[in-house]
Amino acid sequence: MTANGQADWKAGLAEEYHSRRAKLVSDRESFLKQSHRLKERAEATEAEIRRLDDGAAAFGLPVVAHPQEAGDGDASTAARGGPLFKDVALDLLKATYPQPLRAAEVQRRAESLLARKFHSKTTGMSLYRLSLDDFVERRGWDWFYVPDDERQQRQALRKRPEQQAEDLVDAMTQGPK
């Protein structure tokens, strides 16, 4: 190849490089502008969500926290990027009390609130674990919230006889309150 041929080849390559680079820089600038507009829209939407939540709270409706508000929760909640599934499931059942929800509906609503998908077994396992501590109860396909007073009664009935005797002795030694 001659010096002229090599120069033409390099000139063509340089032109291609500059052309592609200019296109990529232009695309990046366009994406940054779009990103800025999307960020503004997201912030406006977040403000609208807060106003909606404030209105719901004013009417005494339960308000479920969103993943973006994880800083308000405990360390484990913040580390995971939002509220725990079991807490959201419990809030959903509490909000519909005394009406039940089916596991599929709990999962659908939780996924919508948390804006993420969960494994198909997450709902059933979470509700089962909540039922072990009497927070929820299953009847057939339906899951019900168990109110605090009823939960305390159930837990008292399940105490071992030894524990009941210890509680009785403690109560008797402390005298009237």
Instruction: Evaluate whether residue 49 is within a structural domain.
Output: yes
Instruction: Evaluate whether residue 42 is within a structural domain.
Output: yes
Q: What distance in Å separates the CA atoms of residue 109 and residue 119, rounded to the nearest whole number?
A: 14
Instruction: Evaluate whether residue 161 is within a structural domain.
Output: no
Count of domains observed in the chain: 2
Could you tell me which residue, 116 or 67, shows the higher pLDDT?
Answer: 116
pTM confidence score:
0.47
Look up the CATH number of the domain holding residue 141: 1.10.10.10
Domain coverage including residue 49: 1-63
Asked if 87 and 66 count as a contact pair (C-beta separation under 8 A), the reply is: no
Question: What value does the mean pLDDT take over residues 105-121?
Answer: 90
Please indicate, yes or no, whether residues 18 and 84 belong to a single structural domain of this protein. no
Q: What distance in Å separates the CA atoms of residue 106 and residue 103, rounded to the nearest whole number?
A: 5
